[in-house]
A and B are shown apart, each in its own frame.
Chain A
Amino acid sequence: MNTAVYPERRAAPPRRRGLLAPLRDRANRWFLNRVPASDTVQLTHRNVYILPTRAGWMLALTLVVLLVASINYQLNLGYLLTFLLAGCAVVGMHVCHGNLRGLSLHLDPPEPVHAGQAVRIDLRLTNTRRTARHGIGLAVRPAHGQPPALAWVDVPAQGEAALQVTWGAPGRGRHALPALIAQTLFPLGTFRVWTVWRTASTVLVYPTPEDTPPPLPVGEAQAGESGPLRTQAVGEFEGVRAYRRGDPMKAVVWKKAAQAFASGRDELVSRDASVAQRQTLWLDHAACGHTGLEARLSRLTAWVLVADRLDLVYGLRLPGREIAPDQGPVHKARCLEALALC
């Protein structure tokens, strides 16, 4: 038996959307809009809900059967047992509600991710009570009728607990985080106490980088310094690029390779004699070889990542926007954000 975490009922096949579905969606939206959005929420009796679970109804039925048996057989001890159990159930209801009420939840704005990756939402639960709160589950609020994938945590007395839930973002762009639910069944599982938490944070989702992007494009001459420089520079060490099959061994920048290995990657970098040092690498949406917008963004994203890894100076040109050449994490973040919001 798995008493630790009972497997939830087998996930039912997605319910057919009945006639009432639009109504339900509307009701859901109306309900969600009433909940104020905030990254910190203090749970009070105003925003914590409680309903009996299926097990709770089963217990109620058991209590009725016990009571009828006690009456029919005139068992005074039967009455005692029934009423003690009923008392425990009533106390359990309050304990269950109190387990969530008074807790404060806090969310740290999540790090941006690429489309297709899961957004990790870091949550902190603060308990000011003198007793611990057991078995609190958090999850992204699922679509109607589906069981939430809960992550469980215990919050120590007058302490904090941290926990992470993940969310599959729908696509690139800036998205508001989904509503979260916090729920608990502790102590008897006869009541479900939950809250719906609409967060204020947003998450930035970058486009998915292309799997095997072509090599970085050739740089353009910088303004005011034209042609001659290029001929001057032939054969000299001018720039680096990702290793390509057939590059001579002596062209590999071993120092860079060692750094890359140390950080767990296995890319080699070759000296590129064809790129002039004083040429600027422009990542241009119009000149990246694809036609579709998403495909272009995907390739540009991959290039930004490569260029950043190679510590190159690069600029980004997008329709209606240009980001001047620069390098470093801040620049990279700017470029990726521009790509995400394009």
Chain B
Amino acid sequence: MLSLASPLAAAARLPREARDTLFLLAVIGWIVLLQTGHIPLWCSLMAAGVLAWRTVLTLRGAPLPGWVWRVGLLLLAIAATALTHRTLVGRDAGVTLIVVLLALKTLELRARRDAFVVFFLGFFTLLTHFFYSQSLLTAAGILVALMGLLTALVNAHMPVGRPSLWQAARVAGGMALLGAPIMLALFLLFPRMAPLWGLPADENSGRSGLSNEMRVGQIAQLVLDDRIAMRVRFEGPPPPANRLYFRGPVLSDFNGVEWKPLNSDFPRSLGLSPDLRVSGEPVRYEVTLEPNDKPWVLLLDAAVAAPEVPGTQARMTPELQWVTRRAIGSLVRYRAESYLDFRHGPDRPVLGLQDYLQLPGGFNPRTHELAVTLRREHGAGPDAAPALVQAALDRLRTGGYRYTLEPGVYGQHTADEFWFDRREGFCEHIASAFVVLMRAMDIPARIVTGYQGGEMNGVDGYWTVRQRDAHAWAEVWLQGQGWVRVDPTGAVAPGRIGSLQRLSAPEGAVAGAIRTLNPTLVAQLRATWEAINNRWNQWVLNYTQGEQLNLLRALGFDEPDWADLAYTLIGLVVLASGLGALWNLWERQRQDPWLRLLDQARLRLHRAGFALPARATPRALATAVQQQCTDQAKDIALWLLDLEAQRYAKEPSADLRRLRAAFKQLHWPKRPSP
């Protein structure tokens, strides 16, 4: 069996140059490893291969490969990048290229300049991680890599002997610790500004989450996703969970397979307006929205005033959804007010409602028959609509329908299959089948997607909404009431709405084992971890210009703007320089205690009228004293010689205290004998 000690011992036997190279290669390996998952597989493999090759060359002391290899590999990597990303300039292509360059540059470490190129490429590669994740774990991984790079850099500037890497790491750590206050001041006060120029638009890189089209089976995938979608902090007690509907995209166009947002044939003037009327007390809350790469601001139904989203402006669509101009590519935080009691949409039938009755021909014939049957039983026309909705819900409640995560694969007639054959499905099946039935009965209806519910994190009191809380529900239009929310899933599985009962995906072996040991431990650990992450999000990732100005307000500025930020920063720099100057002064005055003692003696002799050579050693002083005053000053000369003997003794006997005591007992002559 390989023990850990043997490779370490082997490393200790390596020549210094090889050891340093291996250390740098390990650091670069770690940087590339962190990047795995964001870069194409071939890029990871190529980087690993090059690093392994370089390691073998180092261990064997073999010469580095010639330029043909490097140029060949580089061209290969460029070609592969162009093939993978279809461009060489975008963000992702850039990251891929920089990782390749970093790995290839290790094949060319010849001179000081090459090493520096590796260090600076490394620093830049570290930053590119943040394009993909800014979580606490990422930050920890990056910090390790940064310390590794700094250690290698410091080590490279200790040219003598073979200092241990630990020594270099301590210097690097000390510098980072001293640099941390500078970092903090700059982070707090460096004015945040908008992007300097437009960014390439390859940002929608495969984050799962809500989508603006719904294919049956899609939300079921989300249920397996435990990631947090948003965190909410309510001012006051949170409303009951069954009233927490966070509105996302509204889907109204159905082609038999997919639901899409409304693409109306009517002119815009005939489209519906929100007509939002609210009543009661608003719920005030603050949302921290994880990046979703979509321009959607998720709010509780229904908000009247636009939330203040940093860096952009939100507006409300006629369907009551709040959207921004730019996709939410990073964590944002906004405050909002929502009224849980509201009505919206036209009271009376208008032409625009025709859009919400469209059904594709040739799909779901049996659902149409069901509609005919229901209308025969409960009547037709606008007045019968509430009864028809209730009838459909009753059917869901009593017809043996089941709420399941694994409904199997649906065929062409999804609504028919749900209503008659399978009788089981997830919220999207249920909502889709319900809306199809409503439209078949001439009741305008649409699907609303978003998040429903969530849970309280007991550790920090934040309401946590996860991807698995994604939900699809229906809205039907009733005369005199406007759009009314109907959640057919609630009829099938009352537990889904509101209470915390969820269908949970199978868990991993470790979590399972821990759960058997201690059922609440997993939940507790998770709550704590998420609370820590939340702090991180709130304090670090969400530190925006608004927070900066708040900080200045707390510091006493009345109406701070970015110029005040700059002044504060400049003031800090001036303060630091002043402190540095003071330190310098103090350091200049602080002397070697030996020299101070000698200077005291010198001063006494000078006062006593001795002519003393400038910058004299103790021995020279002693000679001068004895020459000018033979009888009295013998003790003084002896003391000076003693000082010299002590100061330059081989063993630092260093008995300063005894010397000082002797100094005090010396008898200083008033005047030297002429």
Contact = CB atoms under 8 A, between A and B. Distances in A.
A77 interface: yes
Contacts of A176: none
A86 B120 contact: no
A91 B175 contact: yes
Contacts of A71: 193, 195-196
Given A1-B20, A44-B588, A188 B154 contact: yes
Interface in B74-131: 109-116, 120, 123-124, 126-127, 130-131
Contacts of B116: 55, 58, 189
A120 interface: no
B159 A152 contact: yes
A1 B126 contact: no
Contacts of B582: none
A76 B127 contact: no
A72 B198 CA distance: 8
Contacts of B172: 88, 187
A183 B172 CA distance: 20
Given A2-B17, A135-B157, A84 B183 contact: yes
Nearest to A189: B157
Contact of A87 (B113, B178, B580, B587): B178
Count class of interface residues, chain A: 35 or more
A75 B130 contact: yes
A35 interface: no
Interface in A117-148: 128, 134-135, 137
Interface in A82-103: 82-92, 94-95, 102
Nearest to A101: B587
A30 interface: no
B49 interface: no
A185 interface: yes
B157 A134 contact: yes
B196 A88 contact: no
B12 interface: no
B197 interface: yes
A68 B124 CA distance: 12
Chain B interface SS verdict (over half) = helix
A65 B124 contact: yes
Contact of B584 (A45, A55, A62): A45
Contacts of A95: 171, 175
Contacts of B17: 1-4
Contact of A75 (B131, B150, B184, B580): B131
Contacts of B161: 154
B330 interface: yes
Interface stretch (A6-14, A165-173, A261-269, A290-298): A6-14
B21 A1 contact: yes
Contacts of B138: 77
A242 to B, nearest CB: 45
A122 B154 CA distance: 28
A71 B24 CA distance: 29
Nearest to A150: B159
A178 B21 CA distance: 38
A260 interface: no
A314 B182 CA distance: 74
Nearest to A7: B111
Contacts of A327: none
A19 interface: no
B120 A58 contact: yes
Contacts of A55: 112-113, 116
Contacts of A79: 186-187, 190
Nearest to B193: A71
A73 interface: yes
A90 B124 contact: no
B522 to A, nearest CB: 29
A59 B111 contact: no
Contacts of B608: none
A76 B540 contact: yes
Contacts of A189: 112, 116, 153, 156-157
B111 A6 contact: yes
A72 B197 contact: yes
B480 interface: no
Contacts of A65: 124
Contacts of B178: 87, 91
Given A77-B138, A134-B160, A187-B175, A86 B183 contact: yes
A1 B184 CA distance: 35
A69 interface: yes
A4 B20 contact: yes
B159 A87 contact: no
B646 interface: no
Nearest to B539: A76
B134 interface: yes
A45 B580 CA distance: 12
Contacts of A59: 120
A5 interface: yes
A131 to B, nearest CB: 9
Nearest to A73: B131
A81 B592 contact: no
Contacts of B329: 73-74
Given A71-B195, A75-B330, A186 B157 contact: yes
A102 B595 CA distance: 14
A187 B543 contact: no
Given A3-B155, A91-B175, A154 B160 contact: yes
B158 A91 contact: no
Contact of B541 (A8, A77, A185, A186): A77
Contacts of B110: 1-2
B181 interface: yes
B399 interface: no
B153 A81 contact: no
B130 A81 contact: yes
A185 B150 contact: no
A26 B459 CA distance: 73
A72 to B, nearest CB: 5
A7 B112 contact: yes
Contact of A81 (B109, B127, B150, B158): B127
A188 B187 contact: no
A193 to B, nearest CB: 12
A5 B178 CA distance: 27
Nearest to B153: A188
B54 to A, nearest CB: 9
A81 B311 CA distance: 22
A14 to B, nearest CB: 21
B179 A91 contact: yes
Q: Which of A5, A73, A90 has the most CB of B within 10 A?
A: A73
Interface string B143-185: 0001000101111111111010000000110011011111110
A251 B111 CA distance: 62
Interface string A27-66: 0000000000000000011000000001100110010011
A80 B123 contact: no
A113 B70 CA distance: 51
Contact of B540 (A9, A80, A84, A90): A80
B602 to A, nearest CB: 17
A73 B199 contact: yes
A71 B192 CA distance: 7
Given A1-B24, A73-B329, A152-B159, 7 more contacts: A75-B330, A76-B134, A81-B126, A87-B182, A87-B186, A154-B161, A188-B154
Question: Nearest 10 pairs between A and B by C-beta?
Answer: A87-B179, A6-B112, A87-B182, A1-B109, A3-B20, A83-B186, A83-B183, A88-B179, A3-B156, A84-B183
19 contacts: A1-B17, A4-B20, A4-B159, A6-B156, A44-B588, A55-B116, A65-B124, A71-B193, A75-B131, A76-B540, A76-B542, A81-B126, A89-B179, A90-B182, A95-B171, A134-B158, A187-B172, A188-B157, A189-B156
Interface of B: 16-17, 20-21, 24, 109-116, 120, 123-124, 126-127, 130-131, 134, 138-139, 142, 146, 150, 152-161, 163, 171-172, 175-176, 178-184, 186-187, 190, 193, 195-197, 199, 311, 329-330, 540-543, 580, 584, 587-588, 592
